[in-house]
Structure 1
Amino acid sequence: MPDWLDVAVRVILFLIVLFLLTKLLGKKQLSELSFLEYVSGITIGSIAAEVIINTDNKIWHGIIGICVFSLIIYLVEIFSVHSKQFRDFVEGSGTVIIKDGKVLEENLKKEHYTTDELLQLLRGKDIFDLSEVEYAVLEAKGSLSALPKKDFRPITRKDLGLASVNEKETQTVIMDGEILKESLTATGKNLEWLKTELDKKNITIENVFLGQIDTYGALTVDLFDDKIQVPEPIERPLMLAQLKKCQADLELFALATASEKAKRLYAKNATKIEDSIQKLTPFLKN
């Protein structure tokens, strides 16, 4: 067999072996590596490269070496799941580097991180001012987890005293002009509903590059032709506007009437509509 063909066969064979072993070890191997995974990855890559390029080496010796390293990683992961002490020893543990808004310089030096590197990690979390951080942990795999001070955290519905909204997963129901029937069924919608919604937008399924149904049951589409403008849905915003108008009318009637009984009735119903508006606004706003 010519050398070039031998190398080509080895490349294909080791590509298949490494792919199968990576699939066996799971998606964790594709994320940030632990210390052992980092060392093993370098070793496995070196073995594969050496056997592929050096045709004097036997292919099966390289495959055995790679399988042994993969088996070690697999066994380590099994032991790590059942023992925290073993997991901390092999994978490491998080290190607190900011506590109560103050940088713990000793812990930072222990992990061999400079101040510039700390600030860079914070910028990766969209934090540009150190004084905004309450607590930060340098995770075992090198990423930074940061908790901003309460004054710098995003406002939530709970902070505003509003009822929580349980959101469902957005489903992709059209892709490359083809309907994904399983996803459409998962939304509780049917084909007739989908066609009706597309007719409202004056577009056909074949023209849709991507179509999704959000948590509130609204269909949004992206077309193959970017020059075509898709009209925004108006039904829900229009309904919200009508509710606000009803509330304003009732408040106006309460001010205009001379009857105390009617005034109380108008004011009571205006309050009820206001409460309904607060609850329905997340569903009716685009």
Structure 2
Amino acid sequence: MPDWLSIAVRSLVLLIVLFLLTKWLGKKQISQLSFFEYINGITIGSIAAEVATGLDKSIAHGLIGMGIWFAVPFIAGLVSLKSKTIRDFAEGKGTVFIQDGKIMEDNLKKEKYTIDELLAKLRDKNVFQVADVEFAVLETTGTLSVLLKKENQPITAKVLNLAVAPIKESQTVIMDGEIMHEPLSSSGNSQQWLETELDKIGVSIENVFLGQVDTYGQLTVDLYDDKIKVPSPQEKPLLLATIKKCQADLELFALQTNNESAKEMYQKNSVKLQEALNKVTPFLQN
């Protein structure tokens, strides 16, 4: 067999083997790695490269070496799922850099980090003053997790005690001008509904690059032609406006009528509608 053909065959075989080994090891091999995973990934790749181009080396021996480097971390990963001691040894533990708002200088030296590197890590988290930080830990993957002091944390709906609508996964129902039937079914809608919604905005399926249905059943689309402006969904704002108008009309009727029983009925239903309005407003606001 010619050398070039031998190298091509070896490379193809080892490429397939590497792909399968990486799949079995899991997604950690393509994310931020621990020390153990980093060394393991480099070594398996190096063995594969050496065997692929080294015509005087046995491919079987290379596969055995790769198999061992695959088996050890694979078994260690299974064992570490049940043992925190082994997990801490294999993957390491996080190192606290800031605690109670104070920098832990000894821990910085232990991890060979300078204050400049710490400040750069904080800036990656949009934190520009150490005084704003309550707690920060360097994770085993090398990322810095930061907890801001209470007064510096963003205000949320929970803090303000506001009711907000829950958010669920949007379903992509059109992609590259083709209907995605399974997501469309998961959204609880039919193809006829989709075509009706597209007719409302004057768009054909073939012109849609991407179409998604949100958790409230509203369809949003992105067209191939970016010059065409697509109107935003109006169902929720219109419904909210209609309910508000009905509630205002009931209050007006109560003020205009001289019939006491009718006035009481209008006022009672106005209060009920206002209570319902308070509950649905977070869901109907865009």
Query: Normalising by structure 2, what TM-score?
Result: 0.90
Q: Which SS does the other structure have where 1:161 is aligned?
A: coil
Please say which of residues 62-71 and 237-246 is displaced more in the overlay: 237-246
Q: Confirm whether residue 121 of structure 1 aligns to residue 133 of structure 2.
A: no
Please say which of residues 41-50 and 81-90 is displaced more in the overlay: 41-50
Residue equivalent to 1:56: 56
Q: Aligned partners of 1:258 and 1:148: how far apart in 2?
A: 60
Question: Alpha-carbon deviation of 1:253?
Answer: 6.9
Residue equivalent to 1:226: 226
Q: Aligned partners of 1:129 and 1:261: how far apart in 2?
A: 65
| Structure 1 residues 214 and 62: alpha-carbon distance in aligned structure 2, compared to 1, 3 A threshold | same
Query: Normalising by structure 1, what TM-score?
Result: 0.90
Q: Aligned partners of 2:257 and 2:131: how far apart in 1?
A: 56
Residue equivalent to 1:68: 68
Q: Confirm whether residue 216 of structure 1 aligns to residue 216 of structure 2.
A: yes
> Structure 2 counterpart of 1:21, which letter?
L
Residue equivalent to 1:108: 108
1:189-200 aligned at under 5 Å gives the runs: 189-200=189-200
CA contact (8 A) 2:164 2:283 kept: no
| Structure 1 residues 119 and 208: alpha-carbon distance in aligned structure 2, compared to 1, 3 A threshold | same
Residue equivalent to 1:159: 159
> Which segments of 5 or more consecutive residues in structure 1 lack a partner in the other structure?
none
Q: Which SS does the other structure have where 2:108 is aligned?
A: helix
Residue equivalent to 1:32: 32
CA contact (8 A) 2:220 2:233 kept: no
CA contact (8 A) 1:211 1:219 kept: yes
Q: Which SS does the other structure have where 2:81 is aligned?
A: helix
> Structure 1 counterpart of 2:175, which letter?
M
- What does the per-residue CA deviation read over 1:241-266, in whole Å, with 9 as the maximum and x for residues that have no partner? 33344455566677888999988877
Please say which of residues 261-270 and 176-185 is displaced more in the overlay: 261-270
Question: Alpha-carbon deviation of 1:120?
Answer: 1.8
> Structure 1 counterpart of 2:201, which letter?
K
Q: Aligned partners of 1:160 and 1:5: how far apart in 2?
A: 69
Q: Which SS does the other structure have where 1:82 is aligned?
A: coil
> Structure 1 counterpart of 2:2, which letter?
P
Question: Alpha-carbon deviation of 1:212?
Answer: 0.6
CA contact (8 A) 2:165 2:283 kept: no
Question: Alpha-carbon deviation of 1:69?
Answer: 0.3
Q: Aligned partners of 1:96 and 1:87: how far apart in 2?
A: 18
CA contact (8 A) 1:162 1:278 kept: no
Q: Which SS does the other structure have where 1:221 is aligned?
A: strand
> Structure 2 counterpart of 1:166, which letter?
P
| Structure 1 residues 264 and 77: alpha-carbon distance in aligned structure 2, compared to 1, 3 A threshold | same
Please say which of residues 273-282 and 152-161 is displaced more in the overlay: 273-282
Identity percentage over the alignment? Answer: 60
Q: Aligned partners of 1:195 and 1:139: how far apart in 2?
A: 49
Q: Which SS does the other structure have where 1:41 is aligned?
A: helix
> Structure 2 counterpart of 1:217, which letter?
G
> Structure 2 counterpart of 1:230, which letter?
V
